[in-house]
Structure 1
Amino acid sequence: MKEHRLERVRGTRPVRIANVAGGQMEPAWQMRKQATLGDIDFITGDWLAENNIPQEATALEAGTGEGFKKNAWEGLQLSMDVIAEKGIKVVIDAGALGPGNMARRCQELIDEKGYDLNVAYVSGDNITHRVRDSLNDAGKLPRSWEDMSGKNHEDAKFTAKEVLAATAYIGARAIVKGLENGADIVICGRVADASPVIGAAWWWYGWSDKDYDRLAGAFLAGHIIECSAYASGSNFSGFNRYPLETFIDSGFPIAEIENDGTCVITKHEGTGGFVTEETIKCQLLYEIQGNVYLNSDVKALLDDAEIKEVGKDRVKLSGIKGRPPPPTTKLAIFFKGGFESQNLANFAGYSNNRKHHLYEIQIRRHLKEMGLADAFDILEFQNIGNARTDPRSMFESTTYSRIFAQAKTAEPLSALKLLLADNTQQKPSGLHWAQDMRTADPKTFYVYYPCIMPQDEIEEAVHLLDKGGKTKQSISVTRPPAYEDFGQRESYDTAKATPLESFGETVSMPLGNIVIGRSGDKGPNVNMGLFTDRPEIWEWLRNFLTLDRMKKLVGRDWKPEFKIERVEFPGIYAVHFVIYGILGRGVSSSTLLDNRGKGFTDYIRAKHVDVPKKFLQWAWEEKDEVGEDF
């Protein structure tokens, strides 16, 4: 009866897709919450990222894990009864290197409880063996692969033994095929973040793989909801204009996708947070790279995106156009990088910067005397924070020193920790430590090496399970029917720029008083979008935020080796930037505190700039007071 009931309504109304996870730490109960609080057709979730696949690989190799995300499995255990009762379909990106193992766990539970559910898993993304074989046989990666900057791999600095995992980002084709053959639950390894949503809508309406506008619309719907509460109040840079109570427990989003690919983003009634034009604009601008967004099934053109509120907690996204996908897809290779440590110390008050400088001179001098000056791949002395002039409390007077170190072996890091202990009584004035020194112990780290590889080299398939967990059917998936080369990314300043003087007299204030936005990571790069809600401010903003201006706003963090790109989205009054290389080697081994670029937008928004006085009527106040009762 379940299948007949679903088939009767399939395609006759918008498909309701509820996201339950946007990162590896999402708790199991969020899945049950989305399943029980209202009517939905699909559950989707993404637990995978560039920093946790090698973690799963290490656990799998050590025998301490099964290759998949345990909290995703816990969510299925907690929610399976509701999924079965309501006939909800599930497509999740949580299988990592063990999607088959996770699918068999699901089948065991279904068999035990007698649920009328069919399970499938997707394969083809895990090409670790191909990477290792190529390095063993030829000493290099295949000629058809390139790194993300377009260079060849002659200088790839890792061996087959060092490779932990290699996963290609695949699309929704296997998901669709699994659903077409009766799967109720589809477990994916490393499909692209939005692919579960694309697959759900594609199957629901029976689209062709050449329905590029529709696929592109579903792609952006998936992009909007795949980071869970980021679309409904979490990580919202405009939060200071609302009561803090609003954001304590934001409900997770739901995408209602129409047959034409347009969608409405909403959430279950009565949950916290909110869905507004601003929250959806923030998420649209998050972790994209310019005005063309790539997926294995479609290329989405974002230039004409429109975002309009159509009801309370209901925002419509339209104007997304599609083109054939590129002939290549992203490949993430992870290899053992060695060992790293963080030695943390606090400095109080007076003459603060000079103390930090003395501390660095002392340690580097002693390392040189010990013959360890060149023993580190990375050794950075970071002065975090600024001591307040005329402080009102000890905390306001305190900054901290972060010595970030990486080396091929653990010995130099252990020697550094011992040296710092030996130097205790020779420390600069005002230095003090926290009690927990575990960050100073060497720990292994891995390096993320981003590549692109031809889509036609992917061997994608879906596997449907029978009772007992045996595979009853494996279906190979064809490649996309057409490709379109991506070409060069656009980057430009405003054409026919208006002189800033023409906007009248100015006043200095934080840029964040008139714009909000969002930023995030794409490997070693940071992306950031800033926007206004006023057409009057938009004309100034697009002329003010030039490529050169952004370099200046980055300040002392800018380095000559970085590259920057800029595009505009006039339909949502937004300017978008990508800064290449600012995260170093990326999340897994970045030396930065903000190694995912999440705080970059608010850093830029805190900069004081000259804003036309006539905009003061629309400016917000930078609220920083506390005192609400909790």
Structure 2
Amino acid sequence: MSGGAANGGVLRVGNCSGFYGDRFSAVREMLTGGPLDVLTGDYLAELTMLVLGRDRLKDPSLGYAKTFLRQMEDTLGLAHARGVRVVANAGGLDPAGLAGALRDLAGRLGVPVRVAHVEGDRLPLPAGALTANAYLGGAGIAACLDAGADVVVTGRVTDAALVTGPAAARFGWAPGDHDPLAGAVVAGHVLECGTQATGGNHPFFRRYDVRRPGFPVAELHPDGSAVITKHPGTGGAVDVATVTAQLLYETSGARYAGPDVTARLDTVRLTQEGPDRVRIDGVRGEAPPPALKAGITRLGGWRNEVVFVLTGLDVDAKARLVEEQVEDGFARAGTRPADVRWELARTDRADAATEETASALLRLVVRDPDPEAVGRAVTGAAVELALGSYPGFHVTAPPGRGAPYGVFEAVYVEPGTVTHTAVLPDGRRVPVPHPAATRPLAPVPEPPLPPPLPPGPTRRAPLGLVAGARSGDKGGDANVGVWAETDEAWRWLAHTLTADRLRDLLPETRPLPVARHVLPRLRALNFTVAGLLGEGAAARARFDPQAKALGEWLRARHLDIPEVLL
């Protein structure tokens, strides 16, 4: 791969998608906004695999991200004219099908691009599974680029593989080059969620113009170091805080494992190099773990939801009444769903000036293997109350028949059961060997903490006045990364926010295992809350099924903060 020679050996990799459904115009914006060597797009989340699996049940010819094909119809000629290679995991469950569609598209448009794809991630389906895919690394992408591909599409690869593949191809890294590969993994993790690296979803969003943030770019160097930036004139910002937030997103301990390498997040060093330029260096890598992570999705059953609106006085009594009435309706029908959950959100205010702000929401969520149990039974139990329940009875929407929900499960498989294959532009199929050297994962001992702040006056205040946070999901577990922006705040945070204190601040986590990981170079703590999300985001068992706002809830909690920090 020869890209990057014109800019002093630097490989410029941009991102144009953080999920299936991201900004459609981002491909064109990234191609026209500034110089690039490679444009990547991440279209696959755990939930997306379930969506694509359900698509294939309806039509076996489906299974890839159709949006990507439409984006290429608009921009394939532009990418070719500018010499930008495109690497995306939009192939989903059918990368060969997407590659064929791209060749047909290129023929219709008269654009002479060479298309390749990576496959081999599909696993034999366990009983009852809808999809089963291993997470592959970037070596197959590198093989396709080395063979001259202009466009490479993949199935399930790690998000960071979209960057490690092009970097390994450009710089000739071998599987044992753990440190540079780890640097590329970190850069790839920063890029993978698009505008989350440029101020999107940021706890300190008021600092930035995030009305339309630009997508990020990584300038990668042969030693694996990188500078995160964005195209000139685009919205948002790139600073240490935006990069820190994305680094902590959906990670856990100091070892960030993948099929290419295990990156040591406790070695990452961030430096503000200039406006909208953050250097990442110092990253150390280790051999990848011996097993490959795989994701299995299933249809878990059927789900329904009703939200009752409770207005004015006696909200708690109204909630008790409707719960008793619905439960009585289940009993009389002889069909109670297997899982019944009630949640009262006190969104009401006393002496409210509008009806909406005088109202609370009582949410009923039911799940069952039988669609009848969540359909007619729930509809009847709720609708029959319309004229005989609490005063002001109404719901946000009429209850429907219910819908299927999915379940995600993470498992680990032997690499020998997976045939990682690069299908080159000329059709040759090249097996991609797994790294020969591996290293079992082990926890990193907690490093020494900085000295605590000296005693002094405190004030009761929200944690978010002195700390940032970002949270997300990994299957049924939630991750919350918390960081301080000054050394003084870090001295206080490191000693104050223990796993037990987190449980106190977030009572929903009290019965669950909570692990704390310390990352001193980032002045950060990363917490993993096991089982908070039940069977995962697709099951939608929780109000915030992907834990996206868990960090903001934590920042809103009050505790005694030293006045010197405030």
Q: Which range, TM-score by smaller chain?
A: over 0.9
Partner of residue 539 from structure 2, selected from 568, 574, 589 = 589
Question: Distance in 2 between the 1:441 and 1:8 partners?
Answer: 55
SS of residue paired to 1:217:
helix
Task: Give the match for residue 453 of structure 1.
Answer: 413
Question: Distance in 2 between the 1:591 and 1:239 partners?
Answer: 29
Q: Where does structure 1 lack aligned partners over 5 or more consecutive residues? A: 133-159, 467-471, 617-630
Question: Distance in 2 between the 1:100 and 1:416 partners?
Answer: 43
Shift of 1:390: 3.3
Task: Give the match for residue 432 of structure 1.
Answer: 394
Partner of residue 404 from structure 2, selected from 431, 434, 444 = 444
Question: Distance in 1 between the 2:4 and 2:98 partners?
Answer: 30
CA RMSD between the two structures: 1.8
Alpha carbons 2:266, 2:519 under 8 Å: kept: yes
SS of residue paired to 2:153:
strand
Partner of residue 474 from structure 1, selected from 406, 429, 436 = 429
Structure 1 stretch 22-31 or stretch 518-527: which is displaced more? 22-31
Task: Supply the AA of the counterpart residue of 1:391.
Answer: A
Q: Where does structure 2 lack aligned partners over 5 or more consecutive residues? A: none
Q: TM-score, normalised by structure 1?
A: 0.87
Deviations 1:560-608 (A, max 9, x none): 2x11111111112111111110011101003112111110000000001
Task: Give the match for residue 423 of structure 1.
Answer: 385
SS of residue paired to 1:424:
coil
Shift of 1:304: 2.3
SS of residue paired to 1:131:
coil
Task: Supply the AA of the counterpart residue of 1:424.
Answer: A
Question: Distance in 1 between the 2:253 and 2:432 partners?
Answer: 30
Question: Distance in 2 between the 1:497 and 1:514 partners?
Answer: 18
- Change in Cα spacing, 1:11 to 1:483, as seen in structure 2 (3 Å) is farther
- Change in Cα spacing, 1:220 to 1:533, as seen in structure 2 (3 Å) is same
Question: Distance in 2 between the 1:49 and 1:65 partners?
Answer: 21
The runs of at least 4 consecutive aligned structure 1 residues that moved more than 4 Å come to 490-498
The answer on 1:299 being equivalent to 2:265 is no
Alpha carbons 1:28, 1:78 under 8 Å: kept: no
Shift of 1:10: 7.3
Alpha carbons 1:233, 1:273 under 8 Å: kept: yes
Alpha carbons 2:344, 2:362 under 8 Å: kept: yes
The answer on 1:176 being equivalent to 2:142 is yes
Task: Give the match for residue 621 of structure 1.
Answer: none
Task: Supply the AA of the counterpart residue of 1:450.
Answer: A
Deviations 1:250-303 (A, max 9, x none): 000000011111110000001111111100000011000211101101000111
- Residues 211-290 of structure 1 aligned to structure 2 (within 5 Å): 211-242=177-208, 246-290=209-253
Partner of residue 38 from structure 2, selected from 39, 42, 49 = 42
Question: Distance in 1 between the 2:313 and 2:455 partners?
Answer: 43
The answer on 1:131 being equivalent to 2:125 is yes
- Change in Cα spacing, 1:422 to 1:198, as seen in structure 2 (3 Å) is same
Alpha carbons 1:309, 1:316 under 8 Å: kept: yes
The answer on 1:196 being equivalent to 2:162 is yes
Alpha carbons 2:446, 2:517 under 8 Å: kept: yes
Structure 1 stretch 448-457 or stretch 291-300: which is displaced more? 448-457
Deviations 1:70-116 (A, max 9, x none): 11111111110111101111110111111111101111122223323
SS of residue paired to 2:357:
helix
Deviations 1:446-484 (A, max 9, x none): 211221112232101011245xxxxx2111111112110
Alpha carbons 2:386, 2:394 under 8 Å: kept: no
Task: Supply the AA of the counterpart residue of 2:176.
Answer: K
Shift of 1:363: 1.1
Alpha carbons 1:250, 1:271 under 8 Å: kept: yes
Task: Give the match for residue 627 of structure 1.
Answer: none
Alpha carbons 1:94, 1:188 under 8 Å: kept: yes
Partner of residue 23 from structure 2, selected from 27, 43, 56 = 27
Partner of residue 323 from structure 1, selected from 286, 305, 312 = 286
Task: Give the match for residue 106 of structure 1.
Answer: 102
Task: Supply the AA of the counterpart residue of 1:276.
Answer: D
- Residues 58-77 of structure 1 aligned to structure 2 (within 5 Å): 58-63=54-59, 66-77=62-73
Alpha carbons 2:4, 2:37 under 8 Å: kept: no
Alpha carbons 1:118, 1:184 under 8 Å: kept: yes
Partner of residue 458 from structure 2, selected from 484, 506, 512 = 506
Shift of 1:386: 3.5
Alpha carbons 2:250, 2:474 under 8 Å: kept: yes
Alpha carbons 1:265, 1:275 under 8 Å: kept: yes
Question: Distance in 1 between the 2:259 and 2:6 partners?
Answer: 25
Alpha carbons 2:509, 2:529 under 8 Å: kept: no
SS of residue paired to 1:603:
helix
Shift of 1:16: 0.3
Shift of 1:317: 1.2
Task: Give the match for residue 345 of structure 2.
Answer: 384
Report how many aligned residue pairs link the two structures. 565
Task: Give the match for residue 423 of structure 2.
Answer: 463
Question: Distance in 2 between the 1:174 and 1:322 partners?
Answer: 20
Alpha carbons 1:26, 1:71 under 8 Å: kept: no
Alpha carbons 2:135, 2:259 under 8 Å: kept: yes
Question: Distance in 2 between the 1:111 and 1:464 partners?
Answer: 18
Task: Supply the AA of the counterpart residue of 1:379.
Answer: V
Deviations 1:411-430 (A, max 9, x none): 11121111211121222223
Task: Give the match for residue 155 of structure 1.
Answer: none
Question: Distance in 2 between the 1:392 and 1:477 partners?
Answer: 65
Alpha carbons 2:65, 2:92 under 8 Å: kept: yes
